[in-house]
Amino acid sequence: MSTLSSVTGETSDSKVAAVFDSEAAARAAAAEIRSALGLQDSQVQVVTPHDRYPGRKLEPEGRGIFRTILIAHYKLGIVGLIVGALVFAALWAMGIEAVANSPWLAGGLIVGYGGVFGLMAGGLVSLRPDHDPYLLKVRGALKAGRSAVVVHAFSTEERDRAREALAARGGETIATL
């Protein structure tokens, strides 16, 4: 059922968290979510203020971040090179004078800049800016003595179902993209 993300190579790109006032409420919600949605135990984690390393439950693939960085940069760098080549071909076909007069220099620059922009996009994806609100909300709740249920979804449909189910059980939910 689990597949790797096309860009990052991660198993679970989407995450949903729901904050509950007590650990007991969080554990009960987690058990209900596992059975109602048919999720694996590893996909549904309860994070409490007593956890020594809550980050491991929030971002379990953190140990593979180097792999994520490599895959995102590789794939988006290639996409950038291809886009650069297409832009060069379009400019060449339109007969732009600067491109026609010096095609090797223009081609190298345009394709090269496409690759650089692709690598920058890979860096942005590696930073995972969509995870910041999720992490901040859960860590803030833990500091306030509350507990959270975290669901590591394998698809956007699974993420949306988990978010609805957690909200129905009274949790304050937040999800990554």
- CA-to-CA distance for 25 and 35, rounded, in angstroms? 16
Residues of the chain with CATH 3.30.70: 14-65+132-175
Tell me, what's the pLDDT at 64? Answer: 67
In CATH terms, the fold of domain 14-65+132-175 is Alpha-Beta Plaits (3.30.70)
Tens digit of pLDDT for each residue in 102-138?
999 999 999 999 999 999 999 988 887 778 888 889 9
100: number of Cβ within 10 Å: 12
Residues in contact with 153: Cβ distance below 8 Å, sequence separation at least 6, in sequence order = 12, 14, 15, 16, 43, 159, 162
Tell me, what's the pLDDT at 175? Answer: 86
Tens digit of pLDDT for each residue in 85-99?
999 999 999 999 999
Mean pLDDT of the residues in the chain: 87
Of all residues in the chain, the percent with pLDDT exceeding 90 is 52
Burial class (CB in 10 A: 0-12, 13-18, 19+), 52: exposed
Question: Confidence class of residue 1 from pLDDT cuts 50, 70 and 90?
Answer: very low
- CA-to-CA distance for 115 and 124, rounded, in angstroms? 14
